[in-house]
């Protein structure tokens, strides 16, 4: 009796294992020609990668696996050797990344611009102002402002903009200033739901689908320029880095073909990113 029970339980277990074992083996296949790129939420949420990566794959056969993070985290992922290439937007942090030996060389790729978004009712009356006056008005009126608060490129750009108008935001912030510690889309969702101002990159804004009562209030100020750079992670620090495959991705991005692919990406007829790989000092 007992023996039969054992047999039954053994069969039961064996059946379970047999059912799942093939599943465990599957993910290991065919991942040889691929690289990991740590990039920012703005490039992913705006749909740019969905547009350009299939072209790159068609040409080279290389799969690009994008991990979308804030710029700070994306650089950290590269520094730990968990990505082959970083593609981010915070020039000073990128230069430090290379200077520290974590990356090989920074290549400028493209830019988009930041826009100041807010409720159409515009309680602080900033519409049409330049970015400096707009930020001063938001602070003076204690108008709700959503900050990314996630060490992303947009976040550090925002901190620098406050600094430029003489506000040390870490010290001078009040209850009106809310750091949510999340990505661009989440910040826009939060601003929309609470009638707050928020600084966003234009790419994410144009492709964002939950605009609700939000609108662009300040744009076109040359202080709102947002440059993207791409860097190969240093294989001397991390031998696992796929140097050749990563470099061919970078070469393609800055080539005439890659630059055209970036320029061709449009949503509702609007170009989101402006290639400038050949501009000195970008």
Partner 1 sequence: MLEPASALQLVLSGDPGLFAIVRLSLLVSLSAVLCAALIGVPAGAALALTRFPGRDAVVVILNAMMGLPPVVVGLAIYLLLSRSGPLGSFGLLFTPQAMIIAQTLLVAPIIAALARQTIEDLSAEYRDELTAMDVGPFAKVATLIWDGRFSLITALLAGFGRAAAEVGAVIIVGGNIEGFTRTMTTAIALETSKGDLPMAIGLGVILMGIVILVNALAWATRRTGERYGAA
Give me the residues that bind partner 1 (CB under 8 A), please: 2, 5-6, 8-9, 12, 16-17, 20, 23-24, 26-28, 31, 36, 41, 44-45, 49-50, 63, 65-68, 80-82, 182-186, 188-189, 207-211, 238, 240
The least CB distance from residue 135 to partner 1, in Å, is 24
CB nearer to partner 1: pick between 119 and 183: 183
What is the rounded distance in angstroms from the CA atom of residue 140 to the CA atom of residue 170?
A: 16
The Cα-based distances of 267 to 37, 68, 116, 133 in angstroms read 24, 20, 19, 30
The least CB distance from residue 163 to partner 1, in Å, is 27
CB nearer to partner 1: pick between 82 and 219: 82
Residue linked to tokens 């050797």:
81
The least CB distance from residue 172 to partner 1, in Å, is 29
CB nearer to partner 1: pick between 80 and 223: 80
Query: Smallest Cα–Cα separation from 85: which of 272, 201, 264, 94?
Result: 94
Residue 184 CA, distance from chain mean position:
8
The least CB distance from residue 209 to partner 1, in Å, is 4
Is 71 in contact with 89 (CB distance < 8 Å)? yes
The least CB distance from residue 137 to partner 1, in Å, is 26
The burial class, CB within 10 Å (0-12 / 13-18 / 19+), for 87 is buried
The least CB distance from residue 160 to partner 1, in Å, is 24
Helices (H), the chain: 2-25, 41-45, 48-60, 71-79, 91-99, 131-140, 153-164, 169-172, 184-194, 202-207, 243-254, 256-264
CB nearer to partner 1: pick between 3 and 121: 3
The least CB distance from residue 128 to partner 1, in Å, is 25
DSSP assigned state of 27 = G
For the chain, how long is the longest CA-to-CA vector?
Answer: 86
CB nearer to partner 1: pick between 63 and 132: 63
CB nearer to partner 1: pick between 1 and 121: 1
Strands 177-179, 225-233: pairing is unpaired
CB nearer to partner 1: pick between 269 and 281: 269
Segment 14-20 long-range contacts (CB within 8 Å, at least 24 positions apart): none
Is 272 in contact with 265 (CB distance < 8 Å)? yes
């Amino acid at each position: 009796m007992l023996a039969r029970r054992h047999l039954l339980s053994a069969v039961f277990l064996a059946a379970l294992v047999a059912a799942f074992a093939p599943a465990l083996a599957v993910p290991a296949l065919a991942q040889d020609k691929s690289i990991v790129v740590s990039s920012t939420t703005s490039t992913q949420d705006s749909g740019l990668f969905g547009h350009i990566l299939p072209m790159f794959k068609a040409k080279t056969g290389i799969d690009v696996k994008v991990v979308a993070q804030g710029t700070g985290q994306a650089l950290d992922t590269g520094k730990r050797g968990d990505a082959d290439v970083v593609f981010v937007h915070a020039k000073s942090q990128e230069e430090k990344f290379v200077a520290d030996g974590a990356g090989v060389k920074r290549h400028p790729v493209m830019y988009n611009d930041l826009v100041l978004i807010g409720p159409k009712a515009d309680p602080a009356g900033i519409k049409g102002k330049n970015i400096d006056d707009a930020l001063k008005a938001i602070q003076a009126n204690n108008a709700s402002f959503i900050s990314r608060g996630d060490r992303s490129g947009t976040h550090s750009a925002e901190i620098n903009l406050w600094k430029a108008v003489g506000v040390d935001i870490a010290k001078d912030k009040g209850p009106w200033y809310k750091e949510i510690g999340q990505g661009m889309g989440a910040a826009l969702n939060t601003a929309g739901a609470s009638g707050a101002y928020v600084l966003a990159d234009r790419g994410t804004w144009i492709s964002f689908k939950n605009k609700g009562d939000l609108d662009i209030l300040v744009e076109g100020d040359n202080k709102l320029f947002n440059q993207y750079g791409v860097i190969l992670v240093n294989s001397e620090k991390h031998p696992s880095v796929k140097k050749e495959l990563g470099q061919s991705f970078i070469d393609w991005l800055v080539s005439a073909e890659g630059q055209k692919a970036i320029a061709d990406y449009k949503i509702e007829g609007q170009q989101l990113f402006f290639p400038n790989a050949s501009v000195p000092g970008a």
